[in-house]
Amino acid sequence: MGRVITAQQVHGTDVVAVDDALSATVTDGNPTCVPNADGLVTNRPGTALMALSADCPLVLVYDPAGGALGLAHAGWRGTLAGIAERLVACLTSNYGSAAEQMVATICPSAGPCCYEVGAEVVDMAAERWPEAERFLVRCDGRILLDLWSANAAQLQMAGLSPERIETPGLCSICDHRFHSYRRTGATTGHSGLMAALTP
C-alpha cells in the first residue's frame, strides 16, 4: 500500500518537504499528519499528499519536468500570507523545479460569488497587497473576496504562466456537491484532494 501524508492545516504558511525520514514514520494504511504545516511537497513516487477542505482553496502544483508535486491549504489567512508563493519556492529549493515548467490548479472552494468577508479581512488584504481591490468584489453593500484570483495571481508572481494555472471555478458554498463550512457550519464534512506521483 502507498503512503498518505497530510498536513495539520493550521492556517499558517509552513510548507514541509516529505523526505525518506518522514515517510519512514508512516504506518501502512494510516495517513501521517505533519504538525503545524499547511503545505507539503514531494518527489517520491507512490507518496500521496492529501489535504481537506470545507471552503478553503487547495492549491496543487506539479512539475512534470522535474517530477515533483506540491499541495497547500490556502484559506484566507494562508492566502493573505502568501502560501501559494511559498509552495512554488519550496518546490524550487528542494527539487530544483523551474516555475515556468509547473502547472497548477486551484480546487473547488469558496468562490467570489459567495465568499463574503468583513472589514477586518478587507483591511488586512489592503495592507498585504497594493492591488487588493482586484481581489475584492463589492456588491449590494457586501464585500466578497476572490480567493481564486488571489491565489492565481500569487502563482503568476512566483513565475507560472497564466495558461498553466487552471481554476475550475466551482464554488463550494453554492455548489452543493462540495462540503462547505459557510453553508453547513461546524458540523460540515470535508472534501479531500489526494495527489501522488506514479512510480
Interface contacts to Zn ion, rule CB under 5 A:
111, 113-114, 171, 173-174
Q: What is the DSSP letter of 26?
A: P
How far apart are CB 140 and Zn ion at their closest, in Å?
15
How far apart are CB 101 and Zn ion at their closest, in Å?
33
Beta carbon nearer to Zn ion, 4 or 171: 171
Beta carbon nearer to Zn ion, 62 or 115: 115
| Residue closest to Zn ion when measured from CB atoms | 171
How far apart are CB 7 and Zn ion at their closest, in Å?
26
Answer for the pair 125, 77: CB distance below 8 angstroms, yes or no.
no
How far apart are CB 155 and Zn ion at their closest, in Å?
22
Answer for the pair 132, 157: CB distance below 8 angstroms, yes or no.
no
Answer for the pair 114, 173: CB distance below 8 angstroms, yes or no.
yes
Beta carbon nearer to Zn ion, 88 or 107: 107
Number of residues that make up the chain: 199
Integer angstrom CA distances of residue 100 from 64, 97, 156: 11, 9, 9
